[in-house]
Structure 1
């Protein structure tokens, strides 16, 4: 992934120019002279406007997710701690990755030097990998909540959730920044890791976990119909609904990133002939996924939707608003929770 992103950020340069950039011997003036801008002014303005809207939605939407979970006690659960950490990763994508990628995509050139190219690519890989790790943890969290509810509180204690979140950040950081910190890219050392293992292996694990959740949910649907305890029925319904929402989020993530990782595998077999514009389109599909999660939370989860509306309308500052307030959408739902 790192190799391909780094190469695609210099689309108009030949291999010798790339080698000079890696060695740090090419000046910014040479980079500008070797870049071409095939797009006309109108298309550039349109792309800047369109991609800027995506960046703003990514940052603002995910910041709302973080604020909502941090402020409202009802949203503070083991699952939502993973969701909040995932939102931090997506927000960072919008803040420090997408703006520079937007300029590279629109201008057809990388203006920020070889060193920052390495840093930008490493951040890109790190945050993408962190997102996949978080989704894997969410899949396991939902697996225990739906399939093994009796051991859920033991398996997903606050200390274990905190440990898993640290792992979700530490491992991607080592994978992406380790080679640069050790100067392996300067020494010309190749790290022999399976291609795209950080995407396809977690994807397989998530699919297996959600298949088991799907089978358990069908079995529990019959139990909900036959259960006479309203509290038990409400709990099972909430867990199923949470699993469904997060399953949709996981599915959207896989759909939007699958083209990029698929082409990344196929490209060597076609002698690296994939056009730069194809890489740009598939890469931006992955970026756009970071802006979709807040909309999915708002669409499928009533509590998140109400929390978002309260922050956007500044109603959290009004009298009567408190971190412990009820976020249920309807009075009926609030009455069911009290039973």
Structure 2
């Protein structure tokens, strides 16, 4: 009888673990799907509708590409690692995945700071906006948004220049990202704290300009300032925990629990999921474009136009 009870208890525990894993897979899969679909809609909307093709939305388009790639190339493998507790894809792909993770998330953050910079000139210095945000300047800034993250990710990580010099046994089926103190501080400064400073300064200047010149600034620009503030607030809430732990952990001998890393990392991923919804919710043109794509009205319009021309 005792053996039967132990067997039954073991079966119940296994069932509970299986349900927990399935639930976590479902939850993280929904987040991953929302990231991909939402950002892909942003890419489609800006590419298709000419009224959405502006300097600001060039940054938004590039941001959506970065966030969409986070959903396609990073989040699925991170999801398996989080749920299963181990890594099935080998040490080489572990480094490649870590490089893509750092690069794409940093690129996403850089784009947000560029959008803040763009809005600063649009609101605070509108007379020089067309000069400062010319097509060539926008292209240069977008190139920086991709090049710098690539330099601080693929180079150090693939060459193992980021590795911490500590005597910690790491099993072969585990993909962990233990970095040296120098890399942790430098990468966090470049990837998060400097862009955060740019966004904070830009938003503060926009806020002061909007408050001082409320009657001169149009309702659309005031709405842009409000939207920027919300986007920046979401950005800080979801990325600050990860980058705080990222800097602190090497100085406390890498004692941060794995579950804490997973929670904070997925909070950062959620920022990539929320960006397209923030734009869709606050921007009427994006909202209309999203609805048209979701209701297939775009394809109906194209089909009618094609048949009428023929």
Report TM bin, short chain: 0.7 to 0.9
The residue number in structure 2 matching 1:197 is 189
Q: How far is the alpha carbon of 1:246 from its aligned partner?
A: 2.8
Contact 2:63/2:111 (<8 A) preserved: yes
After superposition, the Cα gap between the structure-2 partners of 1:273 and 1:191, relative to the gap in structure 1 and judged at 3 Å, is: closer
The residue number in structure 2 matching 1:308 is 290
Q: Counterparts of 1:134-153 in structure 2 under 5 Å?
A: 134-153=111-130
Q: Where does the alignment leave 5 or more consecutive residues of structure 1 unmatched?
A: 1-36, 225-235, 324-339
Give the Cα separation in 2 of the matches to 1:174 and 1:263. 22
Give the Cα separation in 2 of the matches to 1:172 and 1:129. 6
Give the Cα separation in 1 of the matches to 2:136 and 2:303. 30
Give the Cα separation in 1 of the matches to 2:197 and 2:130. 25
Contact 1:133/1:202 (<8 A) preserved: yes
Q: Counterparts of 1:55-134 in structure 2 under 5 Å?
A: 55-134=32-111
Give the Cα separation in 1 of the matches to 2:162 and 2:274. 34
Q: Does 1:284 align with 2:277?
A: no
Contact 2:40/2:64 (<8 A) preserved: yes
Q: Does 1:262 align with 2:244?
A: yes
Give the Cα separation in 2 of the matches to 1:155 and 1:176. 29
Across the aligned residues of Structure 1 and Structure 2, the Cα RMSD in angstroms comes to: 2.5
Q: Where does the alignment leave 5 or more consecutive residues of structure 2 unmatched?
A: 1-13, 166-178, 306-310
Q: Does 1:219 align with 2:209?
A: no
Contact 2:181/2:247 (<8 A) preserved: no
Contact 2:35/2:71 (<8 A) preserved: yes
Give the Cα separation in 2 of the matches to 1:51 and 1:190. 30
Q: How far is the alpha carbon of 1:321 from its aligned partner?
A: 9.2
TM-score by length of 1: 0.76
Q: Counterparts of 1:173-212 in structure 2 under 5 Å?
A: 173-180=150-157, 182=159, 184=161, 192-193=182-183, 194-195=185-186, 196-198=188-190, 199-212=192-205
Contact 2:99/2:158 (<8 A) preserved: no
Contact 2:31/2:270 (<8 A) preserved: yes
Q: How far is the alpha carbon of 1:294 from its aligned partner?
A: 1.5
Q: How far is the alpha carbon of 1:317 from its aligned partner?
A: 1.7
